[in-house]
């Protein structure tokens, strides 16, 4: 069994009072007690339903991923994978929560009430996720993803400086059952998917419930993330 790994990314020591600095951690771990073949088929079966969610075009966004409006990613605000009642989804929710708690414990950060938004990304041959990030505002918290089916792709994490130095990014090989958690301000992207079988991942944002104002709660599909 592979052990969880925490990778620290830290800028060089500042030589002026105004230089940009960062010091953040990425957790990588593996989920063992889950049938990913069944989960992957569930997600594929749900794809037409998700893509058919009716949203005004002005409210559509693919989050900077480059996957376009005709993707499950572009509807990420309007559904939550963790609401689906299957054995594998219930296990998935439990495993994401366990790893979130592990992340906090490893960094000695106190746990507070949280909510989670969870969606799926499906890439087909020739597609890739472009550099993007999930939050750069003052209430940004944590994001992550779980690899469901993948062959010969990687997710890359760049330091939070602009323009992103993609050549200096940390490249993490995508492997079925790998879960990754990282601060929401961290830019990330994927290598190009070149296989015939779909690359399927489940992505999520965790937010502190105190920061989930009524307007945001209405326009997203967050659910409480406080119980296993």
Query: What percentage of the chain carries pLDDT values higher than 90?
Result: 77
Query: Span 110-116, mean pLDDT?
Result: 94
Query: Span 56-76, mean pLDDT?
Result: 93
* Least confidently predicted of 47-51, 70-74, 221-225: 221-225
Q: What is the pLDDT of residue 213?
A: 76
> What domains appear along the chain, each with residue ranges and CATH number?
24-52+78-224 (2.60.120.620)
Judged against a pLDDT cut of 80, whether residue 101 lies above it is answered with yes
- Closest C-alpha among 24, 37, 138, 49 to residue 88: 37
d(CA 117, CA 115): 7
- Closest C-alpha among 147, 96, 120 to residue 45: 120
- Which residues sit opposite 224 in a β-bridge? 115
- Closest C-alpha among 182, 98, 193 to residue 145: 182
Q: What is the pLDDT of residue 228?
A: 55
d(CA 177, CA 162): 31
- Which residues sit opposite 156 in a β-bridge? 171, 189
More confident residue, 116 or 167: 116
Q: What is the pLDDT of residue 24?
A: 94
Q: What is the pLDDT of residue 1?
A: 63
pLDDT digits (tens, 9 = 90+) for 126-163: 999 999 999 988 889 999 999 999 999 999 999 887 66
Question: Which H, E and C letters describe the chain, residue by residue?
Answer: CCCCEEEEEECCCCCCCCCCCCEEEEEEEECCCCCHHHHHHHHHHHHHHHHCCCCCHHHCCCCCCCCCCCCCHHHCCCCCHHHCCCHHHHHHHHHHHHHHHHHHHHHCCCCCCEEEEEEEEEECCCCCCCCECCCCCCCCCEEEEEEEECCCCEEEECCCCCCCCHHHCEEEECCCCEEEEEECCCCEEECCCCCCCCEEEEEEEEEEHHHCCHHHHHHCCCEECCCC
Judged against a pLDDT cut of 70, whether residue 227 lies above it is answered with no
What spatial distance separates the first Cα and last Cα of the chain, rounded to whole Å?
23
More confident residue, 64 or 57: 64
Phi and psi, residue 203, nearest 5°: -110, 155
- Closest C-alpha among 100, 96, 108, 185 to residue 140: 185
Cis peptide bond N-terminal to 163, omega within 30? yes
Judged against a pLDDT cut of 60, whether residue 123 lies above it is answered with yes
Q: What is the pLDDT of residue 211?
A: 87
Q: What is the pLDDT of residue 160?
A: 83
pLDDT digits (tens, 9 = 90+) for 161-212: 766 676 767 899 999 999 999 999 999 999 999 999 999 999 999 999 988 8
Q: Which pair of structure tokens corresponds to residue 154?
A: 């990687």
Judged against a pLDDT cut of 80, whether residue 218 lies above it is answered with no
């Amino acid at each position: 069994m592979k052990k969880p790994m925490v990778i620290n990314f830290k800028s060089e020591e500042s030589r002026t009072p105004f230089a940009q600095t960062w010091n953040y951690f990425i957790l990588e771990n593996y989920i063992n007690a889950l049938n990913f073949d069944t989960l992957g088929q569930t997600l594929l079966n749900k794809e037409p339903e998700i893509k058919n969610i009716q949203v005004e075009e002005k409210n559509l966004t693919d989050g900077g991923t480059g996957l376009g409006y005709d993707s499950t990613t572009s509807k990420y605000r309007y559904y939550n994978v963790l609401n689906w009642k299957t054995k594998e989804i219930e296990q998935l929710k439990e495993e994401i929560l366990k790893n979130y708690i592990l992340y906090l414990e490893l960094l000695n950060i106190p746990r507070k009430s949280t909510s989670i938004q969870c969606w799926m990304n499906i890439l087909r041959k020739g597609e890739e996720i472009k550099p993007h990030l999930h939050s750069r505002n003052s209430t940004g918290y944590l994001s992550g993803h779980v690899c469901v089916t993948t062959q010969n792709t990687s997710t890359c994490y760049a330091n939070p400086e602009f323009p992103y130095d993609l050549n200096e990014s940390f490249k993490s090989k995508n492997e079925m059952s790998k879960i990754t958690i990282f601060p929401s301000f961290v830019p990330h992207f994927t290598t190009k998917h070149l296989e015939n079988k779909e690359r399927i991942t489940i992505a999520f944002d965790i937010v502190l419930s105190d920061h989930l104002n009524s307007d945001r709660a209405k326009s997203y599909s967050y659910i409480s993330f406080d119980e296993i």
